Structure 1
């Protein structure tokens, strides 16, 4: 039974025979309090709407993109990391049957690890010896096509470091039993193509990944409908390059604290796009691809609102997200959700071919892989700049969200039919 405060007061007046004046005064007091509460709520709602518009104006969207859009709030427990990407129940997963990915007559990898093992493989690509750490789940022994995740490390790191802080090897999915073949490729001189400090020749790293995909497909049973890519910092920028260069190969792409230098997105952009003028950048409509972007607003290395580093301009996190929304044919303005007081989710969901673009802005997140308590992620890029690791320790750690869980949840939402 609902508690009626005014009714209870009236009954109390009758029972105790409280004077009429006092009862009326008390009733007026509660009535005034309800009116005041309603006024405060209206002010809070109006303020939230204004903040939402202000946030979008920092992204560099065009005038046509400044359309009002719905904003709601979700609740999350304060003691555990929030769940920002909507979780997909098993019964709601895309009903697309697994298909063994074609190896295109590639040779199997030498000394490839067996099911339940992890190891390093090497092979020649474009005149260079390339390597990758491969984690093979025990379920691979069953011979069924399994998902593949390519994980690209940040500048100055390496596959071993990323394997430690990302932890993508664990079980995932609604039942917690989904396993994937997880591969951590190594960039040349610990860097990836597209960044100004990269030593790779144009197209060299993209070719490496094409050949690696085929070699992996010749070695293991890979589900061609579930090939995913994720990167941290410089690796996030390279994941964006792959989304532009070979989107037909992936079911979804994710980037954490990504560095979006011009060469990472140039093959997506129009000829009139100018990296020095973010408002001029446009993406040519292309193959729709689901894209998740996670970035901290306290990132002082690759700043949330864009900037310059290594004498090169880079695009802001939200601007890049909106550009991919346009490329994937997403219709209408995005929907903004305050997941918690520190996490904002902006999503474009009405896109072609079932694609979606999602951005997570983390208020207290720095240049990090969110959830990395040891501060391993992003250290190479930080050392290349003016800040020491000691002075930026606080920006490297956030516990309000776990990037690994959000990336895997996003991947679980998407499949792609590969011809």
Structure 2
């Protein structure tokens, strides 16, 4: 009798055929959703385009990008009169290739331009340059918005967000160090000196500056060269490289002399490492190369070939890694 009652009770707990079918459908739906979510995850390679405050931002995810492992982010700002697509072109800068090698996300924002396609764009780096400066474009707010948009869309390590740039874009990197040190861990500028009138970083921040001694646009010892800009009113009397470094040594409260970290034919580097908050100020100088990105495969027509004594991509990423350990 007890066995018979127990059998009936157990039978009543078994799912009906309809319930079993419902469970199978739910399981199937979950599996399909997981597959869809996986397919929708961003993949590495190529360029993806975002719109931030009405401007184009090209984003490259490194090969092997894994959303479960937050990656460093580098914002790369083009030179004055350039555009995001030019900066993203690996024949000129090689940053996508370096991102694949090192595993960081690299984004190429577009500067302010009056043209629909965004070409001939400039950045408001303080005293320079072009329409972005003249119209008072808030490129610091734009850079902050770009970082926020990318962090919201991709898996980014917010403690390892960096900025770099060429010429006017390098000047903006200096300004970001001054006004957005809460966002950027470190900055690296190539051929663009400090163009700020005032600078009060919210915290000490590491800065790398790379410059050719024979730069004929942003002169090494200060001033604008004859090839700086067709309209001289669109630029400024550029701050010298030594003065730019001196400012950062003072801001970061570095207390000991610089130490030579690289000395080879055609290029030297020296670094101040005894700075507040464990920061670092570093200067790398190439003897030749003019106004270009050291290590670049090609430069614009009429410009001197880039120095091959130093690879800016390698030096910049090495610096970012050193200061974020």
Q: Does the Cα contact within 8 Å between 1:113 and 1:119 map onto a contact in 2? A: no
CA distance, structure 2, for counterparts of residue 314 and residue 238 of structure 1: 13
Match of 1:221 in 2: 155
Kindly report the root-mean-square deviation, in angstroms, between the aligned alpha carbons of the 2 structures. Answer: 2.3
- Determine if the alignment matches structure 1 residue 232 to structure 2 residue 148: no
Name the TM-score, length of structure 2 as normaliser. 0.75
Q: Does the Cα contact within 8 Å between 1:367 and 1:396 map onto a contact in 2? A: no
Distance 1:119 1:338, change over 3 A: closer
Q: Does the Cα contact within 8 Å between 1:149 and 1:182 map onto a contact in 2? A: yes
Deviations 1:92-115 (A, max 9, x none): xxxxxxxxxxxxxxxxxxxx9921
Match of 1:87 in 2: none
Match of 1:188 in 2: 112
Match of 2:94 in 1: 167
What are the ranges of 5 or more consecutive residues in structure 2 without an aligned counterpart? 1-39, 114-120
- 1:338-417 alignment, distance < 5 Å: 339-376=263-300, 389-390=301-302, 393=303, 395-415=304-324
Deviations 1:10-35 (A, max 9, x none): xxxxxxxxxxxxxxxxxxxxxxxxxx
Match of 1:249 in 2: 183
Name the TM-score, length of structure 1 as normaliser. 0.59
Q: Does the Cα contact within 8 Å between 1:134 and 1:181 map onto a contact in 2? A: yes
The ranges of structure 1 where at least 4 consecutive aligned residues each deviate by more than 4 angstroms after the TM superposition are none
Q: Does the Cα contact within 8 Å between 1:294 and 1:360 map onto a contact in 2? A: yes
Distance 1:358 1:131, change over 3 A: same
- 1:43-58 alignment, distance < 5 Å: none
Deviations 1:111-169 (A, max 9, x none): x99212433434352xxx11111001243334211100100000112112112222122
Deviations 1:298-354 (A, max 9, x none): 111111111136252111112101211110111122224561132222211100111
**Which of residues 131, 146, 152 is equivalent to 1:198?**
131
Distance 1:363 1:212, change over 3 A: same
Distance 1:115 1:290, change over 3 A: same
Distance 1:205 1:113, change over 3 A: farther
CA distance, structure 2, for counterparts of residue 171 and residue 159 of structure 1: 17
What are the ranges of 5 or more consecutive residues in structure 1 without an aligned counterpart? 1-111, 269-283, 377-388
Q: Does the Cα contact within 8 Å between 1:170 and 1:179 map onto a contact in 2? A: no
Match of 1:153 in 2: 78
Tell me which of the two structures has the higher relative contact order, counting C-alpha pairs closer than 8 angstroms and 6 or more residues apart: 1
CA distance, structure 1, for counterparts of residue 308 and residue 101 of structure 2: 24
For this pair of structures, how many residues does the alignment match?
Answer: 266
